[in-house]
Amino acid sequence: MIALTAAEIADITNGRLAADPGIVPVSIVTDSREVAAGSMYVAKPGENADGHAFVGAAFECGAVLALTERDVSDDDGRTYPAVVVDDAVLAMGALAAESVRRIRAARAAQGEPFTVIGITGSAGKTTTKDLLAGILSRAGTTVAPQGSYNGEVGVPLTVFRADAGTRFLVIEMGATGVGHIKYLAEMVQPDIGVVLGVGTAHSGEFGGVENIAKAKGELVEALGQDGTAIINLDDDRVAAMVSRTQAKVLGTTATGASGSAVEARGADIDEGGHPEFDLILPDGGASHTVHSKLIGAHHITNLLAASAAAFAAGVPAADIAASLSEQSPASRWRMERTERADGITIINDAYNANPESMRAALRTLADLGQGRRTWAVLGAMLELGEDSIREHAAVGTQVVRLNISRLVVVGREARSLYISAIQEGSWGNECSFAETADEAYELLQAELEPGDLVLFKSSNGVGLRHLGDRIALPPQAGTSANTAAVTAANEGNELL
């Protein structure tokens, strides 16, 4: 991270200094379990706990400074060294913005370029981030988010990992309302902005899909004339954002949309579900073969976006195609495939879900399941607002029309999906409802057979990714091993 003294931190955040002004933290963390010697611990209020309760633990682990919203004292009444601010999260944002400014200035003084790339969209952000980071890391020191750090806390934490030696800074940007991405873009000042798609995820919170489009477009609006906007022309709402930016536009398409500069020609998937196509970039018209190791045709959008962003950042086309063909999935629970020794195949895509990604995952299941018995184990898509029943019902209809062999719906929030499948013509044991993940686990353990292909898909908060992990274990592992796997997965998720 960029070195900042306690006095500078207080000045940047308009905070009150209650510490030695010369303290220089070597890292900034928001989880007391991640504190190392020399850290600054940010005590932010949380949904389930107040970070101020862990200030003492942070100093016991080696913290030298805290960023707090009030004074915190130890058992002897001594105040911990801190910068006290009105809002710890906004203070993190101010520190991140200053860090980006200093990195850019330091690299300019050395005659070295520094490129910030922002990525947003209703689905595919993390996969695109992973792909882009994989390409860029070959061209220079690259910092990208851990997991899905993409909000007002995650973005600063990503920035804090960068320093004057960083060539590329990749930022994933999420939002649950209009103005959120504008705030993040003003913080990091991106040179390149990528918009993947506008779906119905969080439509309940946004107040409708048009507000989602308005929010996602804030990224390209933030770009300057010297910037580059990567626009998915296969999504009408994203294509309309061309008029909202003053930056140069690189349009992407897998369908031959007019006005595109980056294209996937002859796009298809192989027998393993892996996308393959000829990549066309604005480098003179040459084509470069891409044969991805990701699973699902929907990843073509992400592959194209990563290609366009990397090209805009100066990476040669041949290097881009080679990297995309070599990269395996980097983040968990995104079309994660496991082959059990008994011949059962698990596809765990339950990190998150919305109607668009649910449909894409089901189409992939149908494509891969030719000649096999297919299972769709589905949970709720959260935060859809008044559209929830209708969207879940539409998924149930799709499952039947795709001739998925077995449907297991988990949890009452997804019950309309189960009812819709029955009404569409699913009968007998083709369609089952489980109140809980444990109930679904018992059903699957009893009925899965060698050769079966099983998809797990739900919103993150439903937790079906952990059920997928349990089923992915060999059947002889037993209950205790399955329980241990779930515990480990939960612990890993808490650190994201």
Residue 55 sits in the same domain as residue 100: no
Which CATH number characterizes residue 242's domain?
Answer: 3.40.1190.10
Residue 342 sits in the same domain as residue 486: yes
Q: What's the CA gap between 401 and 483, in Å, rounded?
A: 35
Specify the DSSP class assigned to residue 252.
Answer: E
- What confidence category does residue 205 fall into, taking pLDDT thresholds of 50, 70 and 90? low
Asked if the model's pLDDT at residue 294 lies above 60, the reply is: yes
Asked if the model's pLDDT at residue 496 lies above 50, the reply is: no
Residue 478 sits in the same domain as residue 368: yes
Residue 158 sits in the same domain as residue 295: yes
Residue 75 sits in the same domain as residue 117: no
Q: How many CB atoms lie within 10 A of CB 79?
A: 14
**Is residue 71 included in any domain, yes or no?**
yes
**Token pair recorded at residue 241:** 């954002």
Cα-based torsion angle of the residue sequence 437, 442, 446, 448 in order, rounded to the nearest 10 degrees: 20
Condensed to tens digits (0 to 9), the pLDDT of residues 222-268 reads 999 999 999 999 999 999 999 999 999 999 999 999 888 999 999 99
Top-confidence range, 42-46, 187-191, 476-480: 187-191
Q: What's the CA gap between 172 and 8, in Å, rounded?
A: 27
Q: How many CB atoms lie within 10 A of CB 290?
A: 22
**Is residue 198 included in any domain, yes or no?**
yes
* 87 backbone φψ class: left, alpha, beta (φ>0; ψ -120 to 50): beta
Residue 193 sits in the same domain as residue 272: yes
Which CATH number characterizes residue 74's domain?
Answer: 3.40.1390.10
**Is residue 1 included in any domain, yes or no?**
no
The average pLDDT across 42-51 equals: 88
CA distances for 154 relative to 36, 350, 442, 493, 494, angstroms: 19, 21, 37, 14, 13
Q: What's the CA gap between 137 and 129, in Å, rounded?
A: 12
The pLDDT, as a whole number, for residue 487 is 37
119 near 172, Cβ under 8 Å?
A: yes
Condensed to tens digits (0 to 9), the pLDDT of residues 22-34 reads 999 999 999 999 9
**Is residue 331 included in any domain, yes or no?**
no
The letter for the amino acid at 354 is N
Say whether 49 sits in a helix, a strand or coil: coil
**Is residue 349 included in any domain, yes or no?**
yes
The range of the structural domain enclosing residue 66 comes to: 6-86
The pLDDT, as a whole number, for residue 384 is 84
Number of domain units in the chain: 3
10 near 27, Cβ under 8 Å?
A: no
Q: Domain boundary residue among 45, 61, 86?
A: 86
Residue 145 sits in the same domain as residue 243: yes
Residue 121 sits in the same domain as residue 81: no
Residue 61 sits in the same domain as residue 139: no
The average pLDDT across 103-128 equals: 95
**Is residue 147 included in any domain, yes or no?**
yes
Say whether 24 sits in a helix, a strand or coil: coil
- What confidence category does residue 200 fall into, taking pLDDT thresholds of 50, 70 and 90? low
Q: What's the CA gap between 15 and 71, in Å, rounded?
A: 12
- What confidence category does residue 343 fall into, taking pLDDT thresholds of 50, 70 and 90? very high
Asked if the model's pLDDT at residue 492 lies above 60, the reply is: no
CA distances for 411 relative to 84, 379, 400, 463, angstroms: 44, 6, 19, 11
**Is residue 238 included in any domain, yes or no?**
yes
Q: Domain boundary residue among 62, 86, 110?
A: 86
Percent of the chain that is helix, strand, coil (3-state, to 5) = 40, 20, 40
225 near 262, Cβ under 8 Å?
A: no
**Is residue 61 included in any domain, yes or no?**
yes
Which CATH number characterizes residue 344's domain?
Answer: 3.90.190.20
Q: What's the CA gap between 329 and 337, in Å, rounded?
A: 10
Q: Which helix (H) or strand (E) covers residue 346, if one does? A: strand 345-348
The average pLDDT across 359-365 equals: 93
Residue 154 sits in the same domain as residue 132: yes
Q: What's the CA gap between 214 and 234, in Å, rounded?
A: 17
Asked if the model's pLDDT at residue 154 lies above 70, the reply is: yes
The pLDDT, as a whole number, for residue 482 is 41
Residue 291 sits in the same domain as residue 389: no
The percentage of residues in the chain with a pLDDT greater than 90, rounded to a whole number, is 78
Q: Domain boundary residue among 326, 359, 388?
A: 326
Residue 279 sits in the same domain as residue 402: no
Condensed to tens digits (0 to 9), the pLDDT of residues 467-486 reads 999 999 865 543 333 433 43
The average pLDDT across 190-200 equals: 92
